[in-house]
Amino acid sequence: MAKYIFVTGGVTSSLGKGIIAASLAKLLQARGLRVTIQKFDPYINVDPGTLNPYEHGECYVTDDGAETDLDLGHYERFLSIPTSQANNVTTGRIYQTVINKEREGAYLGKTVQVIPHITDEIKKRMLELGKTGNYDIVITEIGGTVGDIESLPYIEAVRQLQWELADDDLLVVHLTLIPYLKAAKELKTKPTQHSVKMLSESGVFPDILVCRTEEPINEEIKRKIALFCNVKPEAVIEAVDASTIYEVPLIMMNEQLDRIVLKKLNMPDNHEPELGKWKEFLNKLKYPKAKVNIGLIGKYVELQDAYKSILEAFVHAGAMNECKVQVQYIHSEFITPENVAEKLSSLDGLLVAPGFGHRGIEGKITAVKYARESGLPFFGICLGMQMAVIEFARNVLGLKNAHSREMDPDATEAVIDMMEEQKKVTKMGGTMRLGAYPCDIKEGTLAHKIYGAVQISERHRHRYEFNDQYLELFEKKGMIASGKNPQTGLVEIMEIAGHPFFIGVQYHPELKSTVENPHPLFVHFVAASKIFNENKSAQKAPVLQSELG
């Protein structure tokens, strides 16, 4: 049977529970243990798929097509193992299951209540992954902050499990904040004391406290926290601000978090974590030899979390290229044919981001045109690929009315159209084309060079697709479909041969980039941007196919 670690948070939100959970998991995995992480979110949405990115940031999609919290992205990026629907549970999903069971008559006339029915359903899901036999340790991150009304059933479920499982099969890590008061020049422990007290009042007694702090915590403060919060002094872990999230596993290792966990879980501690590849990555990340400036064109640019996986994929690809990737956000609504050259002049590469709805799309199309004509490396993801298709149709094929059915339901030249299976969809939640699908790659293309394979699998989240009726026309003029779904023929990759780097993909490669396996599309895009930058510095113009005749 697996052992269970619960991670709760106190004092404020945004302390980085996901990163602490992922870092601890990494250390345990690097000791040879089989670890997974799951997240329980206290909101009533069944999943974050229907949430605006401004609410909770990007929606992360797993291989099995679950629309999940962005913390699952961190779990995969740190552990390099896939997560699934089972790794993300919300209050909405719990209640939906319980209510469905009630309608089926499964409760045999009993009054259905938060305790025991909701908490039983929570506990069942908390233990589920551990029962598969695939893991030695299951880490569960409880979303929200201790003291929130909506987190209470989860804390109660942990309380019951603390009582039901053996002492060495479960532990609770509580993440808190030790604020530094500049005026008093002091670190303050009171908020931590209060949050541990609140957790204890619910019957959950943390075994380990991880204390987020801007300033190092000395032994005296650690002893004070230990005394007031009823934990051993060595179980008070300092988590001082890091320059990158990828440094946190090493900081936690120095603080012996993994060792204390193993001791409490009564597990052997016979060798140090094996983190060679991780350290190599960190070294490259910290000491880049070059720099590129990549423009990210989207409409949620005010909120970094909206493009979390894309930003992290650039971190991985940058390190691989020993190059710092500076991402410059550009709001598509403010790009016009008049200002595009000036706005994009400092870029070495252009990424047009995924998205929904018509806002800002003309700016995206204008930006793609500039990249296509000037030889600026271009990478379009999902909506970004669709915009590249519309741009090519309008400006190269002369289809002046070319559009996507999403933006113009009456389009006469819908080069991007609604997928057949989407036409019967009436509900919004969980109804897009979601999750992993295979893709066949045409040999000799840029996509083939990038992947070094003829069959790949990538994750999806969309309703619209390239309209196959136009494919011949596109290919005649030089924009080719280099990747297609083997069963349906659905176009997955479009590229322009002869351009230094111009590729659009209907899927989301950013979701599969990890520290130990950076995504090849990002790696090659950064490499192409690096070359563009070097040529720019040497005042060499990019070579376009048209110029070669």
Catalytic residues: 382, 508, 510
Q: List the beta strands (DSSP E) in 245-321.
A: 290-298
The residue written with tokens 């000037």 in the block is: 374
CB of 462 to ligand GLN, least distance (A): 3
- 3-state SS class at 207: coil
Among residues 463, 468, 542, 544, which is the contact residue for ligand GLN, using CB under 6 A? 463
Which lies closer to ligand GLN via its Cβ, residue 271 or residue 423? Answer: 423
Q: Are 194 and 200 in contact (CB under 8 A)?
A: no
Stretch that binds ligand GLN, among 65-73, 82-90, 104-112, 455-463 (CB under 6 A): 455-463
CB of 171 to ligand GLN, least distance (A): 39
Paired tokens of 324: 């710092």
Position 310 contacts ligand GLN (CB under 6 A) = no
Query: How far is it, in rounded angstroms, from Cα 237 to Cα 246?
Result: 18
CB of 517 to ligand GLN, least distance (A): 22
Which lies closer to ligand GLN via its Cβ, residue 4 or residue 466? Answer: 466
Stretch that binds ligand GLN, among 70-78, 230-238, 246-254, 349-357 (CB under 6 A): 349-357
- 3-state SS class at 48: helix
Position 356 contacts ligand GLN (CB under 6 A) = yes
Q: Are 229 and 206 in contact (CB under 8 A)?
A: yes
Position 464 contacts ligand GLN (CB under 6 A) = yes
Residues belonging to the chain: 549
- Taking CB under 6 A as the criterion, which residues in 375-404 touch ligand GLN? 382-383
Instruction: Return the DSSP state at 419.
Output: -
Which lies closer to ligand GLN via its Cβ, residue 47 or residue 156? Answer: 47
Which lies closer to ligand GLN via its Cβ, residue 154 or residue 464? Answer: 464
- Taking CB under 6 A as the criterion, which residues in 399-428 touch ligand GLN? 406
Position 507 contacts ligand GLN (CB under 6 A) = no
Helices in 87-151 by DSSP H: which ranges? 91-104, 119-128
Position 510 contacts ligand GLN (CB under 6 A) = no
334 CB neighbour count, 10 Å cutoff: 11
Number of Cα atoms under 13 Å in the Cβ half of residue 378:
34
Position 349 contacts ligand GLN (CB under 6 A) = no
CB of 464 to ligand GLN, least distance (A): 3
CA angle (398 as vertex; 393, 404 as ends), nearest 5: 35
Paired tokens of 104: 């089926």
Position 461 contacts ligand GLN (CB under 6 A) = yes
Stretch that binds ligand GLN, among 75-83, 203-211, 459-467, 535-543 (CB under 6 A): 459-467
Query: How far is it, in rounded angstroms, from Cα 447 to Cα 482?
Result: 6
Nearest to 460 by CA among 123, 59, 103, 73: 59
Among residues 18, 42, 354, 363, which is the contact residue for ligand GLN, using CB under 6 A? 354
Contact residues for ligand GLN (CB under 6 A)?
354-356, 382-383, 406, 461-464
